[in-house]
Amino acid sequence: MTNAGPIGRPVPRKEDARLLRGRACFVDDLHLDRMLHGVFVRSPHPHAAIGGIDTAAALAAGARLVLTADDLPFADRGFVVRYWHTAIRGGTQPFLARGRVRYVGEPVALVVADDAYRAEDIAPLVEVDYRPLQSVAGIEAAMADGAPALHDPWTGNVAARFSYRRGDAAGTLERAARRVNHETRFARQVPLPLETRGAVADFDRARGTLTVRLSTQAHYNVRENLASLLDLPESAVRVICEDVGGGFGAKSRCYGEEIVLAEASRRLGRPVKWIEDRRENMLATTHSRGIDVALELGLSEDGRFEALRATVALDTGAYVFTSGIATAELCGALIPGAYRIPDFSVEVLAVGTNKTPAATYRGAGQPEAALAVETLVDRAALQLGIDAAELRRRNLVRPGDLPYATATGFGGLGFDFLGGDFPALLDRTIEESGYGEAVQTRLDGARIAWGLAGGVDVSGVVDYESARVRIDPSGDVLVHSGMSSQGQGQATTFAQIAAEALGAETDRVSVAMGDTALLSFGRGAFASRGAIMGGSAVLEAARALRSRTLEIAAQLLQDEGGGLDIVGGRIVRRKGGDTGLTLGDAARAVAPGGPLFDGGAGLEAETVWRADRPATLAYSVHAARVAVDPETGAVEVVDYAVGHDIGRALNPAIVDGQVAGGAAEGIANALLTEMVFASDGQPLTLTLADYLAGTADGALAPRLVERDTPSPTNPLGIRGVGESAAIAPPAAIWNAVARAMGWDAAPARIPISPAALAVTRVRNAS
């Protein structure tokens, strides 16, 4: 491929016109004939036994159906998941609560009525005999002696435990010339997609088929679960998620509500719709972050990292999800960062509490790891009297170290750094940002300082993705992908990939995804895998189709010398000259009635692409400049620069937007967002008036410092960018605030609220 093609150009997004004109179709836009509406009855208690459930009053008031756990034929079965960590000790969530509720918002029953308003009014008539139990609302309380046990297999309320090790960390720490201890705490946060969860389940009794339209990132996994749990063939289940108003990891798994809703539709023989309201979303859609890390670093006198010991503890909530364990797993795996640390030991615990279950959120453990190691580096630099930038430079993985095995991994797969120049990216970001370590004082008394942090992004995980590329007789190109989209721009980038590989015009390429009827297999959009996995599948299918098209053209032209090419949708001779044939001519030739028809499906190619290497690692450097008012604790981000190795930009405009959006979200994570609970596990931030989300209005546009080192993990040479820019901001901002305030021993806690600043200021003053 050359730069002359569509790849590498800022092609305008194909999906934007429809979205901006209000012509998208989200779940709540769907209105089907005879459609009923469902509302879930949810627990008001963080921990309680259920003495019984009486549905008589709700049914008498007009409920079409009320389902409880005892009504579900699949209640004793479990979800089909992508992988199951062997360290998990049971404690999976039931579809509806059975015998006990373990967090506020846990679904107990489904009420179905003629409309959403009536269902909301009837739901409180379901009488649940709750018998409150003692609850635990934090990691320390859950692991304390005498704490109530959430699940019998969770000894000490530990849901899972695993570790990463290389060398003899304990012995090397004992011998180290210098040792630095540090603690970090990343608060619980909520992915907060603009479109809450929702689904419309439509079971057709006459055909025995089920169609579910829902807001999800993982439509094939939802189909797999619906078919398995409802005892339907997968061919009878269709899941559609064409337009999804954001996911950020919260929708990357199948939820019990989706299965229960489908069961209700099957029983009633009518479509049933459920839309989550914002309070319900804050209560019941999975949370994330909520990770504490304790670290100890051993260094030589000249600041070389020799050993690291860390304990990672995830507040996994009341039940364990594989995506929650994945968050803890990734955090533990990336505690060493992009540094050369000969010996390390990382212990990872997932601890149960009476809170909403934890799962993935943009970065999934990686911002938490960056916060831990990058604030540790700044503390070590302060104690050794070395510039923080220089200490990083001395210890980063260098080009001569590549390939560099991290000795950690994910889901049994190892991580390797395979490309890039991390010290050069660090230096370039420092130079272009103007980063320095002097603290200044403004006329208004605000203290101004820079903070620096690196971030490691793991993208393109969960192997396999599918694509089909077809040329129709008009010459238009149709791309079907097993991916889904929540705004990342895949419809545009996939069209660019197909157009360049095939030799077509981008404007004549259309892309369809988010529908299990398109292809028999797919995975979906999560873990920054869209361009790497989905794009590579499109590329391979388009390459195969190009070869087939040229074979057909050669037969039509009786040209056996391989002297043909495709440019702009036309068949041309490599030595010059138009043949008069187009892509449409080739498609018509193999269509029924065409001169070369062979009984096939037409001019198309389909592939299921698998990466030879299961993960693509990328490195970024963030420099944040803040102004801190020492009296009020207000923090203002006054400048921000992102240095990121993107591998190769398929569409620079989309890449820039992803990086800017990720940085903005990371900054909001650092300063605003926190899901707060009372000491008994009652959530306290259930509206957007209480949960301070970042907004586009007033968000700082970061300066971008890009460096392109093609990745060898995929044929496009790209690295994921959907999550990478959200990883380092909390660490960079914390380091800037700590430098501005002169803290040399404060635990790094996110978010950095004015109240937290006041507490830390008092602690350090004492």
What residue spans define the domains of the chain? Answer: 16-23+462-609, 31-133+192-284, 134-190+286-387+394-401, 423-440+617-766
| Single-letter residue type at 447 | R
End-to-end CA distance of the chain: 63
Q: Which of 266, 255, 329 is closest to 106 using CA atoms?
A: 255
Instruction: Report the distance separating Cα 531 and Cα 537, nearest Å.
Output: 9
pTM of the shown model:
0.95
The tokens for 623 are 């420099």
CATH fold of the domain at 423-440+617-766? Aldehyde Oxidoreductase; domain 4 (3.30.365)
CATH class of 134-190+286-387+394-401: alpha beta
| Model confidence pLDDT, tens digit, residues 728-744 | 999 999 999 999 999 87
How far does CA 704 lie from the centroid of its chain? 22
CB 681 within 8 A of CB 106: no
At residue 102, the pLDDT reads 98
Four-point Cα dihedral 172, 173, 175, 176, nearest 10: 110
Other CB atoms within a 10 A radius of the CB of residue 595 amount to: 10
Q: Which of 415, 413, 513 is closest to 465 using CA atoms?
A: 513
CB 622 within 8 A of CB 452: yes
Which DSSP helix (H) or strand (E) runs through 555?
Answer: helix 535-557
| Single-letter residue type at 450 | W
Which DSSP helix (H) or strand (E) runs through 477?
Answer: strand 477-481
**Numbers of helices and strands, H then E, in the chain:** 18, 30
DSSP string, 23-66: ----GGG---TT-EEEEEEE-SSSSEEEEEEE-HHHHHTT-SEE
How far does CA 420 lie from the centroid of its chain? 24
CA-based Rg of the chain, rounded to a whole angstrom?
27
Instruction: Report the distance separating Cα 694 and Cα 513, nearest Å.
Output: 29
- Beta strand pairing call for 343-352 and 305-317: parallel
Other CB atoms within a 10 A radius of the CB of residue 656 amount to: 19
Cis-peptide, bond into residue 403, ω within 30° of zero: yes
- List, in order, residues 6 or more apart from 612 with CB less than 8 Å away: 713
Instruction: Report the distance separating Cα 459 and Cα 441, nearest Å.
Output: 40
At residue 87, the pLDDT reads 66
Which DSSP helix (H) or strand (E) runs through 626?
Answer: strand 616-628
Angle, in degrees to the nearest 10, between helices 535-557 and 583-590: 80
At residue 679, the pLDDT reads 94
How buried is residue 601: exposed, middle or buried, by Cβ count under 10 Å (0-12/13-18/19+)?
exposed
At residue 3, the pLDDT reads 45
DSSP string, 652-710: HHHHHHHHHHHHHHHHHHHHT----B-TTS-B---STTTS----STTPPPPEEEEE---
Instruction: For residue 65, report the phi and psi dihedrals to the nearest 5 degrees.
Output: -165, 140
Q: Which of 602, 576, 574 is closest to 590 using CA atoms?
A: 602
Q: Which of 362, 342, 272 is closest to 34 using CA atoms?
A: 272
- For 551-560, which contacts have Cβ atoms below 8 Å and span 24 or more sequence positions? 552/586, 552/589, 552/590, 552/596, 552/603, 553/579, 553/581, 553/585, 553/586, 555/589, 555/596, 556/581, 556/585, 556/586, 556/589, 556/595, 556/596, 557/581
Instruction: Report the distance separating Cα 117 and Cα 421, nearest Å.
Output: 58
- List, in order, residues 6 or more apart from 709 with CB less than 8 Å away: 419, 420, 421, 645, 647
The tokens for 346 are 């990382």
- List, in order, residues 6 or more apart from 86 with CB less than 8 Å away: none
Cis-peptide, bond into residue 153, ω within 30° of zero: no
Instruction: Report the distance separating Cα 555 and Cα 644, nearest Å.
Output: 47
Q: What is the dotted CATH code of the domain comprising 16-23+462-609?
A: 3.30.365.10
Instruction: Report the distance separating Cα 756 and Cα 485, nearest Å.
Output: 37
| Single-letter residue type at 613 | R
At residue 213, the pLDDT reads 98
Q: What is the dotted CATH code of the domain comprising 31-133+192-284?
A: 3.30.365.10
The tokens for 400 are 């001569």
Instruction: Report the distance separating Cα 424 and Cα 409, nearest Å.
Output: 25
Strand intervals (E) in 378-461: 404-410, 413-417, 440-441, 447-459
CB 202 within 8 A of CB 766: no
The angle subtended at Cα 422 by Cα 421 and Cα 426, nearest 5°, is 120
CB 666 within 8 A of CB 650: no
Handedness of CA 593, 596, 599, 602 (dihedral sign): negative
Which residues of the chain have a pLDDT value below 70?
A: 1-4, 82-87, 561, 758-766
DSSP string, 230-286: TT--GGGEEEE-SS-S--TTTTSS--HHHHHHHHHHHHHTS-EEEE--HHHHHHHS-
- List, in order, residues 6 or more apart from 203 with CB less than 8 Å away: 209, 210, 262, 265, 266, 269
